[in-house]
Structure 1
Amino acid sequence: MTLDIEKSTAPSMWMERWLSEPRLRRYLDVCQGDFARALELYEWNLDLGAVLMQDIAYFEVALRNAYDRIMRERYVEGGNWLFDDQSPVNRELPRKTRSGSVRDANALNRKAIKDALTLGGREASPSSVVVHLPFGFWAHLSDRAHERVLWIPYLQRVWPRGTNRTELDARIRLINECRNRIAHHERLFQPSKAELEPAAIDRVVVDLLYQLVPEGSWLLSDGETRIERFLRERPLDTIISSNCSKATSTQERAIRDYFAMWVTRDFSRFDELFSPCCRYEECYGPIYEGTEELHRWIEHMLAIQHVTAWDIHDMVFAADGQSVTVTWTFIAAEKKPCTFDGCSVIHFDGQGRIDSVREFGAEHERCFPQRREEGTEE
């Protein structure tokens, strides 16, 4: 993607329309409200998902073909195992739930096969149905409900002798969960469960694929999976660790741009820099809430005042990544010239806009009443 986020107008607005506020928030929180970094992290996440999805696709194809092959070879009771109403994936399979109710463990399987038949057309072949069945269908076949009807008589022969069905089922379900997260463009970094770390998932994928296709050496390079190589070449820390400095530069630029507006008398970007619900407290008492009040105040001040300089001396960035303390000298002319020093405590919201300003003023001229003149006696 070649979007120039630094030059775009109001990134908070179009990025929120594009990604939705909740999805964008996840990336902004990690990037301390910096939109450019949030976009970079979003793209990084998509690239990571693309690499991982490719490995999962290799495994998915191998799994469904292995299961279909063993079933076609050994299921001889009533024709093709997908089309026979009495096959282990089609017949009613009542199982008790933890709540004590009874459910049909094959209800979802039958629906998946019916949907695949529809996608395959009027004369769908078994191979066409296999292609159109979702990964969740294949992952479901190794669960506990199908242990006696599928695993023991058929599917265990696909795997190395002694394979633990429970452990295998858990690993395939993790792959399926990760696959669904990628398909729905969810965040893959910092998962809620350690076992869903992309590198851990990819190791599981590679291990299981090797068991099905021992010749699949293309997934490893010098003992390194494709995801491990991706993370080594494009580590997440290079994005996250630089967030502070990047956010700092974005906030500094916003503050300098705002101060300059009073000198240039050009407030065309004001609504881009300030939150619509910003609260602004002037150093001598007046308070303005919301951009409507702020615009009226600005129009009033432009009519009676001409700012010749608003010089920034220091900026101190708080550890929370959202507050900045600025010291400055303000020079303007109203009915008569005025010069004074001041300090602003400026707070940024999660979207990188100024949502609070508190100003404090001080006399520009300074004196030292307790300082002794040279040569004077105590």
Structure 2
Amino acid sequence: MSPESQHVTLADLQRWFSIERMDTYINSAQATGCDAVDLYVWNGRVSKALLEDVAHVEVLLRNFMSVRLAQACGHDDWYKDDARFRFNSSKTRRFENSVDEIERQLRHAGKPVTPGRVIADMSLGSWCFLLSSRLEQTVWRALRDPANGGMPNYPSCKRAVFESHVKTMGDLRNRLSHQEHIVLDDLVSEQRYLDEQCANLDWIARVIDPKAADWIRSQSRVTMVRAQRP
């Protein structure tokens, strides 16, 4: 008997994944009139589809920021230019420490320590930090400076608004990466939440590059998977 043809019950999922975890899906299934097992499967699929979109937007964001910061200081390892960007305060050297840890792990893995590898290994939290208010006069100024490429698709150039959108993406990424549920007891609230998250990802991509936003949307599986909700 193939795995696909095996009959799996709610009791099986409770045994495998815990009663507490499955309670969320039982409650939502009862409220929205569907099967809890089907809903659990769908939640996993829509989560993975969303993660694909998040991945595209996250890489787009870090490339956009890295290119402009490198242009501002004239070298690819811009993350070491504390004199220009003032990443580290006297109280904390969190950013510098995170870069040092990335370089240490690269060396431990026997990989060359290059700007491309360091930048690729920076966490989304690090990119959010670079958008914080304490770096508005250094990092943000460099990002919006037309001499470095600027932000022609974001005329208002409001840092706090941009940061808020990126933080929202970070919250979604964390939720999905930790296998938290997307389903809610109220279907209207669930659909609104998904609409808002998709719109947020599109907003970030669009203010960076509308063509990239269109491509990401064209490749997205989210709309298709959402239509398959039990």
Q: Tell me the CA shift for residue 38 of structure 1.
A: 2.1
Deviant stretches of 4+, over 4 Å: 191-196
Work out which of the two has the higher radius of gyration on C-alpha atoms and give 1 or 2: 1
Percent of pairs identical after alignment? 19
Q: Which residue of 1 aligns with 2:29?
A: 31
1:36-55 pair list within 5 angstroms = 37-55=35-53
User: What runs of 5+ residues in structure 1 fail to find an aligned partner?
Assistant: 95-103, 240-378
Q: Which residue of 1 aligns with 2:169?
A: 175
After superposition, give the CA deviation of every residue in 1:106-141 in whole Å (9 maximum; x if it has no partner).
52x233322321332264111100111111211221
Amino acid at match of 1:131: A
* Whole-angstrom CA distance in 1 between matches of 2:82 and 2:160: 27
- 2:76·2:115 contact (CA, 8 Å) conserved in 1? no
Higher mean displacement: 163-172 or 81-90: 81-90
Matched, 1:218 2:212: no
Q: Which residue of 2 aligns with 1:230?
A: 225
* Whole-angstrom CA distance in 1 between matches of 2:35 and 2:49: 21
* Whole-angstrom CA distance in 2 between matches of 1:194 and 1:5: 26
Q: 2:20 aligns with which of 22, 39, 42?
A: 22
Q: 2:63 aligns with which of 48, 54, 65?
A: 65
After superposition, give the CA deviation of every residue in 1:121-175 in whole Å (9 maximum; x if it has no partner).
26411110011111121122112222123112x1224432322111111111001
Q: Which residue of 2 aligns with 1:338?
A: none
Q: Describe the SS at the equivalent of 1:215.
A: helix
Q: 1:92 aligns with which of 83, 89, 107?
A: 89
1:87-126 pair list within 5 angstroms = 88=85, 90-92=87-89, 94=91, 104=92, 106-107=93-94, 109-121=95-107, 123-126=112-115
Q: Which residue of 1 aligns with 2:201?
A: 205
RMSD over equivalenced CA pairs, Å:
3.1
1:155-304 pair list within 5 angstroms = 155-157=143-145, 158-159=150-151, 160-190=154-184, 197-216=193-212, 217-220=214-217, 226-231=221-226, 233-235=227-229, 239=230
Amino acid at match of 1:5: V
User: What runs of 5+ residues in structure 2 fail to find an aligned partner?
Assistant: none
Q: Describe the SS at the equivalent of 1:197.
A: helix
Q: Which residue of 1 aligns with 2:73?
A: 75
Q: Tell me the CA shift for residue 60 of structure 1.
A: 0.8
* Whole-angstrom CA distance in 1 between matches of 2:180 and 2:137: 36
Q: 1:129 aligns with which of 102, 108, 118?
A: 118
* Whole-angstrom CA distance in 1 between matches of 2:173 and 2:216: 17
Q: Tell me the CA shift for residue 79 of structure 1.
A: 7.8
TM-score (norm 2): 0.78
Q: Tell me the CA shift for residue 210 of structure 1.
A: 2.3
* Whole-angstrom CA distance in 2 between matches of 1:196 and 1:134: 28
- 2:45·2:225 contact (CA, 8 Å) conserved in 1? no
Q: 2:128 aligns with which of 131, 139, 142?
A: 139
Amino acid at match of 2:42: W
Q: Tell me the CA shift for residue 204 of structure 1.
A: 1.6
Q: Describe the SS at the equivalent of 1:190.
A: coil
Q: Tell me the CA shift for residue 201 of structure 1.
A: 1.1
Q: Describe the SS at the equivalent of 2:195.
A: helix
- 1:202·1:225 contact (CA, 8 Å) conserved in 2? no
Greater helix fraction, Structure 1 or Structure 2: 2
Greater strand fraction, Structure 1 or Structure 2: 1
After superposition, give the CA deviation of every residue in 1:207-231 in whole Å (9 maximum; x if it has no partner).
221222232222345xx97534432
Instruction: Flag the structure with more relative contact order, 1 or 2, with Cα contacts below 8 A and sequence separation at least 6.
Output: 2
* Whole-angstrom CA distance in 2 between matches of 1:64 and 1:74: 15
* Whole-angstrom CA distance in 1 between matches of 2:19 and 2:136: 44
Q: Describe the SS at the equivalent of 2:54.
A: helix
Q: Tell me the CA shift for residue 44 of structure 1.
A: 0.6
Q: Which residue of 2 aligns with 1:56?
A: 54
Q: Describe the SS at the equivalent of 1:82.
A: helix
Q: Describe the SS at the equivalent of 1:186.
A: coil
- 1:56·1:179 contact (CA, 8 Å) conserved in 2? yes
Q: Describe the SS at the equivalent of 1:162.
A: coil
- 1:55·1:219 contact (CA, 8 Å) conserved in 2? yes
- 2:124·2:170 contact (CA, 8 Å) conserved in 1? yes
